[in-house]
Protein backbone atom coordinates (compact mmCIF):
# COMPACT_ATOMS: atom_id res chain seq x y z
CA UNK A 1 0.00 0.00 0.00
CA UNK A 2 2.84 2.35 0.89
CA UNK A 3 4.55 1.60 -2.43
CA UNK A 4 1.32 2.37 -4.32
CA UNK A 5 0.95 5.65 -2.48
CA UNK A 6 4.54 6.58 -3.28
CA UNK A 7 3.96 5.80 -6.98
CA UNK A 8 0.83 7.99 -7.06
CA UNK A 9 2.75 10.80 -5.34
CA UNK A 10 5.56 10.57 -7.87
CA UNK A 11 3.12 10.60 -10.78
CA UNK A 12 1.39 13.65 -9.30
CA UNK A 13 4.68 15.48 -8.88
CA UNK A 14 5.67 14.61 -12.44
CA UNK A 15 2.39 16.03 -13.81
CA UNK A 16 2.80 19.14 -11.67
CA UNK A 17 6.35 19.68 -12.92
CA UNK A 18 5.23 19.18 -16.53
CA UNK A 19 2.45 21.72 -16.07
CA UNK A 20 4.87 24.26 -14.57
CA UNK A 21 7.29 23.80 -17.46
CA UNK A 22 4.38 24.21 -19.89
CA UNK A 23 3.50 27.58 -18.33
CA UNK A 24 7.08 28.82 -18.61
CA UNK A 25 7.81 27.26 -22.01
CA UNK A 26 4.51 26.80 -23.89
CA UNK A 27 4.61 23.88 -26.38
CA UNK A 28 5.36 24.81 -29.99
CA UNK A 29 5.06 23.09 -33.35
CA UNK A 30 8.09 20.92 -34.05
CA UNK A 31 8.04 22.00 -37.69
CA UNK A 32 7.44 25.77 -37.68
CA UNK A 33 7.53 26.88 -34.03
CA UNK A 34 3.91 28.05 -33.83
CA UNK A 35 1.94 27.47 -30.63
CA UNK A 36 0.42 24.01 -30.13
CA UNK A 37 -1.75 22.37 -27.52
CA UNK A 38 0.81 19.72 -26.61
CA UNK A 39 4.56 19.21 -26.89
CA UNK A 40 6.24 17.30 -29.73
CA UNK A 41 3.28 17.92 -32.03
CA UNK A 42 2.44 19.74 -35.26
CA UNK A 43 0.29 22.85 -35.56
CA UNK A 44 -2.85 22.78 -37.73
CA UNK A 45 -1.12 24.43 -40.68
CA UNK A 46 1.80 22.01 -40.75
CA UNK A 47 -0.50 19.05 -40.18
CA UNK A 48 -2.54 20.08 -43.22
CA UNK A 49 0.72 20.07 -45.21
CA UNK A 50 1.12 16.33 -44.63
CA UNK A 51 -0.23 14.02 -47.33
CA UNK A 52 -0.89 11.10 -45.02
CA UNK A 53 -0.97 7.65 -46.62
CA UNK A 54 -4.09 5.64 -45.87
CA UNK A 55 -5.74 2.72 -47.60
CA UNK A 56 -6.19 2.06 -50.44
CA UNK A 57 -2.48 1.62 -51.02
CA UNK A 58 -0.26 -1.01 -52.59
CA UNK A 59 0.08 -3.77 -50.03
CA UNK A 60 3.68 -4.43 -51.13
CA UNK A 61 5.09 -0.93 -51.68
CA UNK A 62 2.79 1.06 -49.40
CA UNK A 63 2.25 3.71 -52.08
CA UNK A 64 -1.25 5.23 -52.32
CA UNK A 65 -3.70 4.69 -55.15
CA UNK A 66 -5.38 7.73 -56.65
CA UNK A 67 -8.81 6.08 -56.43
CA UNK A 68 -10.49 3.73 -54.00
CA UNK A 69 -11.04 0.65 -56.15
CA UNK A 70 -13.40 -0.84 -53.60
CA UNK A 71 -11.81 -4.29 -53.40
CA UNK A 72 -9.56 -6.13 -50.94
CA UNK A 73 -5.77 -6.36 -50.91
CA UNK A 74 -4.27 -4.49 -53.85
CA UNK A 75 -0.91 -4.74 -55.54
CA UNK A 76 0.25 -1.89 -57.77
CA UNK A 77 1.49 -2.44 -61.35
CA UNK A 78 4.95 -1.32 -60.23
CA UNK A 79 5.12 -4.01 -57.54
CA UNK A 80 3.96 -6.64 -60.02
CA UNK A 81 6.47 -5.58 -62.69
CA UNK A 82 9.38 -5.24 -60.22
CA UNK A 83 8.58 -7.10 -56.98
CA UNK A 84 10.62 -5.70 -54.09
CA UNK A 85 13.10 -7.85 -52.19
CA UNK A 86 11.53 -6.74 -48.89
CA UNK A 87 8.12 -8.09 -47.99
CA UNK A 88 6.02 -4.98 -47.38
CA UNK A 89 6.72 -1.27 -47.09
CA UNK A 90 4.76 1.31 -45.14
CA UNK A 91 5.21 5.07 -44.70
CA UNK A 92 3.50 7.88 -42.86
CA UNK A 93 3.22 10.37 -45.71
CA UNK A 94 4.10 11.26 -49.27
CA UNK A 95 7.52 12.90 -49.50
CA UNK A 96 6.55 16.53 -50.06
CA UNK A 97 5.45 19.56 -48.07
CA UNK A 98 5.69 19.13 -44.31
CA UNK A 99 6.99 15.56 -44.59
CA UNK A 100 9.97 16.65 -46.66
CA UNK A 101 10.65 19.57 -44.30
CA UNK A 102 10.69 17.26 -41.26
CA UNK A 103 13.01 14.77 -42.93
CA UNK A 104 15.44 17.51 -43.99
CA UNK A 105 15.46 19.15 -40.57
CA UNK A 106 16.15 15.87 -38.81
CA UNK A 107 18.85 14.83 -41.27
CA UNK A 108 20.63 18.09 -42.06
CA UNK A 109 19.77 20.52 -39.25
CA UNK A 110 20.58 18.27 -36.27
CA UNK A 111 16.96 18.38 -35.09
CA UNK A 112 17.15 15.15 -33.14
CA UNK A 113 14.08 16.22 -31.17
CA UNK A 114 12.02 15.55 -34.30
CA UNK A 115 12.83 11.87 -33.95
CA UNK A 116 10.26 11.45 -31.18
CA UNK A 117 7.43 12.97 -33.21
CA UNK A 118 8.32 11.18 -36.44
CA UNK A 119 8.82 7.83 -34.71
CA UNK A 120 5.44 8.08 -33.00
CA UNK A 121 3.77 8.58 -36.37
CA UNK A 122 5.81 5.78 -37.95
CA UNK A 123 4.86 3.36 -35.17
CA UNK A 124 1.19 4.05 -35.93
CA UNK A 125 1.59 3.77 -39.71
CA UNK A 126 3.58 0.54 -39.41
CA UNK A 127 1.58 -1.01 -36.59
CA UNK A 128 0.82 -4.22 -38.49
CA UNK A 129 4.49 -4.66 -39.41
CA UNK A 130 5.62 -4.00 -35.85
CA UNK A 131 3.14 -6.55 -34.49
CA UNK A 132 4.89 -9.26 -36.51
CA UNK A 133 8.49 -8.06 -36.16
CA UNK A 134 11.00 -9.71 -33.84
CA UNK A 135 13.72 -7.12 -34.29
CA UNK A 136 14.01 -3.50 -35.47
CA UNK A 137 17.07 -2.71 -37.63
CA UNK A 138 17.98 0.76 -38.95
CA UNK A 139 19.55 1.31 -42.37
CA UNK A 140 23.18 2.12 -41.45
CA UNK A 141 25.40 4.96 -42.64
CA UNK A 142 28.94 4.43 -43.86
CA UNK A 143 31.50 5.32 -41.20
CA UNK A 144 32.75 8.37 -43.09
CA UNK A 145 29.28 9.82 -43.55
CA UNK A 146 28.41 9.05 -39.95
CA UNK A 147 31.54 10.92 -38.82
CA UNK A 148 30.57 13.94 -40.91
CA UNK A 149 26.90 13.98 -39.84
CA UNK A 150 27.60 12.81 -36.26
CA UNK A 151 24.44 10.72 -36.08
CA UNK A 152 22.37 8.30 -38.14
CA UNK A 153 18.82 9.58 -38.51
CA UNK A 154 17.53 6.07 -39.20
CA UNK A 155 19.04 4.83 -35.93
CA UNK A 156 17.40 7.72 -34.06
CA UNK A 157 14.02 6.69 -35.47
CA UNK A 158 14.59 2.96 -34.97
CA UNK A 159 15.54 3.31 -31.30
CA UNK A 160 12.46 5.40 -30.54
CA UNK A 161 10.12 3.10 -32.47
CA UNK A 162 11.54 0.06 -30.67
CA UNK A 163 11.17 1.78 -27.32
CA UNK A 164 7.57 2.73 -28.00
CA UNK A 165 6.53 -0.75 -29.06
CA UNK A 166 8.77 -2.76 -26.74
CA UNK A 167 10.70 -4.25 -29.65
CA UNK A 168 14.47 -4.87 -29.48
CA UNK A 169 16.52 -2.63 -31.76
CA UNK A 170 19.87 -3.81 -33.14
CA UNK A 171 22.11 -0.99 -34.37
CA UNK A 172 25.05 -3.25 -35.24
CA UNK A 173 23.58 -6.23 -37.09
CA UNK A 174 23.82 -4.46 -40.45
CA UNK A 175 26.84 -2.43 -41.60
CA UNK A 176 27.41 -0.16 -44.57
CA UNK A 177 30.78 -1.16 -45.97
CA UNK A 178 30.76 0.82 -49.22
CA UNK A 179 30.90 4.62 -49.33
CA UNK A 180 28.29 5.12 -52.04
CA UNK A 181 27.82 8.44 -53.78
CA UNK A 182 24.66 10.42 -52.86
CA UNK A 183 21.51 8.95 -54.38
CA UNK A 184 19.93 12.34 -55.16
CA UNK A 185 19.53 12.80 -58.90
CA UNK A 186 20.19 9.15 -59.80
CA UNK A 187 17.76 7.08 -61.82
CA UNK A 188 16.17 3.90 -60.45
CA UNK A 189 18.77 1.76 -62.23
CA UNK A 190 21.66 3.98 -61.13
CA UNK A 191 20.48 3.84 -57.50
CA UNK A 192 20.38 0.06 -57.53
CA UNK A 193 23.81 -0.11 -59.16
CA UNK A 194 25.23 2.41 -56.70
CA UNK A 195 24.16 0.23 -53.77
CA UNK A 196 25.59 -3.06 -54.99
CA UNK A 197 27.82 -4.46 -52.25
CA UNK A 198 27.03 -1.52 -49.96
CA UNK A 199 25.71 -3.56 -47.00
CA UNK A 200 27.01 -6.49 -44.99
CA UNK A 201 25.63 -8.40 -42.02
CA UNK A 202 28.21 -8.40 -39.24
CA UNK A 203 29.47 -11.69 -37.80
CA UNK A 204 27.83 -10.94 -34.46
CA UNK A 205 24.66 -9.86 -36.26
CA UNK A 206 24.17 -13.19 -38.04
CA UNK A 207 23.23 -14.97 -34.86
CA UNK A 208 20.86 -12.19 -33.84
CA UNK A 209 18.90 -12.08 -37.11
CA UNK A 210 18.84 -15.76 -38.08
CA UNK A 211 15.29 -17.12 -38.13
CA UNK A 212 13.77 -13.77 -37.14
CA UNK A 213 11.33 -11.36 -38.77
CA UNK A 214 12.99 -7.97 -39.19
CA UNK A 215 11.62 -4.46 -39.59
CA UNK A 216 14.05 -2.23 -41.47
CA UNK A 217 13.83 1.48 -40.61
CA UNK A 218 14.79 4.42 -42.84
CA UNK A 219 13.67 8.02 -43.20
CA UNK A 220 12.59 8.02 -46.87
CA UNK A 221 11.81 5.49 -49.58
CA UNK A 222 12.53 6.86 -53.04
CA UNK A 223 12.80 3.99 -55.53
CA UNK A 224 13.17 1.23 -52.94
CA UNK A 225 16.79 0.56 -53.96
CA UNK A 226 18.16 1.03 -50.45
CA UNK A 227 15.49 -1.16 -48.87
CA UNK A 228 16.05 -3.84 -51.51
CA UNK A 229 19.84 -3.84 -51.08
CA UNK A 230 19.62 -4.04 -47.29
CA UNK A 231 16.84 -6.64 -47.29
CA UNK A 232 18.77 -8.84 -49.74
CA UNK A 233 21.81 -9.23 -47.46
CA UNK A 234 19.62 -9.69 -44.36
CA UNK A 235 17.65 -12.48 -46.04
CA UNK A 236 20.83 -14.14 -47.27
CA UNK A 237 22.13 -14.05 -43.71
CA UNK A 238 19.14 -16.01 -42.46
CA UNK A 239 16.33 -13.55 -41.71
CA UNK A 240 12.90 -15.09 -42.26
CA UNK A 241 11.34 -11.88 -43.54
CA UNK A 242 12.26 -8.21 -43.92
CA UNK A 243 9.67 -5.43 -44.02
CA UNK A 244 10.41 -1.73 -44.48
CA UNK A 245 9.06 1.24 -42.53
CA UNK A 246 9.91 4.85 -43.41
CA UNK A 247 8.56 8.24 -42.50
CA UNK A 248 7.93 9.29 -46.10
CA UNK A 249 7.81 7.75 -49.55
CA UNK A 250 8.21 9.20 -53.01
CA UNK A 251 5.30 8.36 -55.29
CA UNK A 252 5.65 7.83 -59.02
CA UNK A 253 4.55 11.38 -59.66
CA UNK A 254 7.50 12.64 -57.56
CA UNK A 255 10.25 10.52 -59.12
What pLDDT does residue 246 have? Answer: 98
Interatomic CA distance for residues 158 and 136, integer angstroms? 7
pLDDT for res 54 = 92
Q: Kindly list the distances between the CA atom of residue 107 and the CA atoms of 42, 77, 158, 194, 236, in Å, as whole numbers in the listed order.
A: 18, 32, 14, 21, 30
Sign of CA dihedral 85, 90, 91, 93: positive
- Asked whether the beta carbons of 214 and 241 are under 8 A apart, the reply is yes
pLDDT of residue 23: 44
Q: Which stretches of the chain drop beneath a pLDDT of 50? A: 1, 13, 17-24, 253-255
pLDDT at 17: 47
pLDDT of residue 55: 86
Contacts of 35 (CB under 8 A, 6+ apart): 26, 27, 28, 29, 43
Residues 28-84 pLDDT 10s: 888 888 888 788 788 999 999 999 999 889 999 999 987 666 665 689 998 999 999
Domains defined along the chain, listed by start: 1-48 (no CATH), 53-254 (3.40.50.2020)
Residue 69 confidence (pLDDT): 62
Distance CA 76, CA 175 (A): 31
pLDDT of residue 26: 74
pTM of the model: 0.85
pLDDT digits (tens, 9 = 90+) for 100-116: 999 999 998 889 999 99
How far apart are alpha carbons 192 and 246 in whole angstroms? 18
Nearby residues of 28 by Cβ (< 8 Å), 6 or more positions away: 34, 35, 36
Model pLDDT, residue 145: 79
Amino acid sequence: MAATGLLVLRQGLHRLAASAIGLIYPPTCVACGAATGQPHALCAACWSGLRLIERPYCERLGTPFALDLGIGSLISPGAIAEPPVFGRARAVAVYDGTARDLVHRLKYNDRLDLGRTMARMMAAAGSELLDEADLVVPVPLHGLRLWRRRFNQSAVLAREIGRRRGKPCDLRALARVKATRPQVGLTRHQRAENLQGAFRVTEAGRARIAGRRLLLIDDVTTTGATGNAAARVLLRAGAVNVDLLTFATVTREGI
